[in-house]
Amino acid sequence: MKSVHETDISMPRDAMLRRRRRSLSVLGVGSVITVLLAAVTGGASWFIAGAFVLGLAGYFYSLRKQALRDRERRAARQLRAAHRPSEVDATGSSLARPPDSAVRIDDEDLELYSMDTVDLSGVYVERVEYIEEHRRAG
């Protein structure tokens, strides 16, 4: 039986968790193998074993810090959600009549099809050319 965490995971989060497991596996197996190899052969192979063990410890430390940040972020999000009104109608309008300064554009409004459009692309191109002409060489 899968836990809630395994079934309700987005694809990017699942990819991140797989990458973390793969990194931990490589560092863990590499640490064990290099420590055993260094114990048998001795000498400079302890440096390689030390690098693997330090890498594993550093990765554990960074994962722990990330988990604590995620926990704080989740607690803050839940606190904000608790203070919001529980029933919000995002589709309804609280105003009986929209103010005169409000611009309401409906892309499917038939009146918009007969209106002229304004091409502003030349305004920006001229500005870019002006900047390029007056740019100084480094």
- Whether the model clears a pTM of 0.95, i.e. scores above it, the answer is no
Q: Is residue 38 part of a domain?
A: yes
The answer to whether residue 67 scores a pLDDT higher than 60 is: yes
Give 94-117 pLDDT, tens digit per residue: 555 555 666 666 666 666 666 676
> What is d(CA 2, CA 24) in angstroms, rounded to the nearest whole number?
22
Q: Is residue 28 part of a domain?
A: yes
Q: Is residue 8 part of a domain?
A: yes
- Count: domains in the chain: 1
The answer to whether residue 93 scores a pLDDT higher than 70 is: no
Structure tokens, 29: 């197996």
8 A C-beta contact, residue 56 and residue 27:
yes
> What is d(CA 124, CA 45) in angstroms, rounded to the nearest whole number?
62
Q: Is residue 58 part of a domain?
A: yes
More confident residue, 17 or 7: 17
Q: Is residue 25 part of a domain?
A: yes
Q: Is residue 111 part of a domain?
A: no
Range of the structural domain that residue 74 is part of: 4-83
8 A C-beta contact, residue 37 and residue 59:
no
Q: Is residue 61 part of a domain?
A: yes
Please report the pLDDT score of residue 58 as a whole number.
96
Q: Is residue 12 part of a domain?
A: yes
More confident residue, 81 or 3: 81
Give 32-61 pLDDT, tens digit per residue: 999 999 999 988 999 999 999 999 999 999
